[in-house]
Amino acid sequence: MREKLIIGMFGFGVVGQGLYDIIKTKKLNLEIKRFVIKNADKKRTLPAELFSTDPESILADTEINTVVELIDDADAAFTFVKRALSEGKNVVSANKKMIASHLEELAELQQTHGTSLLYEGAVCGSIPIIRNLEEYYDNELLHSVSGIFNGSSNYILSKIFNEGQSYEDALKKAQELGFAETDPTLDVGGYDPKYKLAIVASHAYGIYVDPETILNLGIDKLGDQDIRFAKEKGFKIKLLPLAKETNGKQVVLYVLPKFVRPDNIIYNVENENNGVLVKAAFADEQFFYGKGAGGHPTGSAVLSDIAALRYGYRYEYKKHIDAGQIEYSTNYELSVYFRYADDSSLEEIHFDSVTERFYGEDFMYIIGKINLQEIIAKRHIINQAGNFIAEIL
């Protein structure tokens, strides 16, 4: 049965405006009663009486049955979402850091209060990967879930490899277009895809993992030498998160730049687009492709969740019930390229095996196998200025 949704929305930025634009074109059984924003003095395109700076104007309003949370502050978002769920209101959120950091508690709140929290817009923009993991793959054994989860870093890398732009120029252009923030660390440092990876892993494997325990190294240390090496070998560099089942009982999670070959479907995912590659025991390989950045793509995912609430949809977290002995592990060997500034860095890092070493006039690198646990333990060395690491697929 369709229920009329009376909506209170936290935030009216890029995604909020994009969502509102989409809603205006649809005939839906819903009403946006209130927007709570941070800056009351900012000029808005809607009547002033719709806006408030007081969270209670949404949380204490018994007529509002649905909260849409679209703010940047993860701590404030958690406070609002937790309160809303406890008050019997359903919630739609696009805040990947907040959800990844508190997912287990949020799932328990839903169970306790009979409410629903949906967050398709938090992962990969317009790509419906969470719903597919919940429904289509609910009884499937997944070997791995990987791909491009961050449109900002992918845009930068596309400009570097397709147009020959420098890292600095590509980043500046991404910032001008609104794909990257003034401080781009969340994107280029691999934090944004890490939060998304934690959410994906939860729905793919039924595990709750603190995102702070997941390794993330980004493209912020990428140098001209690494770009030249990749082009000479016919590779592109992509920033890829990976969730992979290793022995039927363990799942490894990490985010690293990777050298991708032309025969990999991820190779041709360009600009702000995202691509998710799911490898399953029975369904084999399936690929999801779509816009991963921008107000309208993310707004469309948020609207999809809002529409689902009209029919009482909830995530059932079925894989958590059957997860059993599945555990998060960091014991995993991978092949990497490591460019280093001086030998002292290399002397402190243990490689299981080495296949290639290069000493040039302007840079040095080593290619070999290394355990993920070693990368985590020596991250402070690997991530120093003058060093860069990438997995070789």
For 358, the domain range is: 137-290+325-392
Q: What is the pLDDT of residue 2?
A: 65
In b/e form, how buried is each residue of 147-181, taking b as 16+ CB within 10 angstroms?
Answer: bbbbbbbbbbbbbbbeeebebeebbebbbeeebbe
Q: State whether 113 and 190 are in the same domain.
A: no
Q: State whether 185 and 253 are in the same domain.
A: yes
Determine which one of 96, 97, 196, 258 is catalytic.
196
Q: State whether 304 and 380 are in the same domain.
A: no
Q: State whether 176 and 57 are in the same domain.
A: no
pLDDT tens for the 393 residues of the chain, in order: 467 899 999 999 878 887 888 887 777 788 899 999 998 888 888 888 899 999 999 999 999 999 999 998 999 999 999 999 999 999 999 999 999 999 999 999 999 999 999 999 999 988 999 999 999 998 888 999 999 999 999 999 999 999 999 999 999 998 888 788 888 999 999 999 999 999 999 999 999 999 999 999 999 999 999 999 999 999 999 999 999 999 888 999 999 999 999 999 999 999 999 999 999 998 899 999 998 766 777 888 899 999 999 889 999 998 887 666 789 999 999 999 999 998 988 999 999 999 999 998 889 999 999 999 999 999 999 999 999 999 998
Q: State whether 218 and 272 are in the same domain.
A: yes
Q: How many Cα neighbours within 13 Å face the side chain of 237?
A: 31
Q: Is the dihedral of CA 136, 138, 144, 145 positive or negative?
A: positive
Q: State whether 365 and 344 are in the same domain.
A: yes
Q: What is the dihedral of CA 231, 232, 234, 239, to 10 degrees?
A: -40
The yes-or-no answer on residue 196 being catalytic is yes
Q: What is the pLDDT of residue 234?
A: 96
Q: How far is CA 308 from the centre of its chain?
A: 22
Domain termination residue (choose one: 275, 304, 322): 322
Q: State whether 301 and 337 are in the same domain.
A: no
As a whole number of angstroms, the distance between CA 119 and CA 322 comes to: 22
Domain termination residue (choose one: 305, 322, 339): 322
Q: State whether 306 and 338 are in the same domain.
A: no
pTM metric for this prediction:
0.95
Domain termination residue (choose one: 272, 307, 322): 322
Q: What is the pLDDT of residue 218?
A: 97
The number of folded domains in the chain is: 2
Q: What is the pLDDT of residue 155?
A: 95
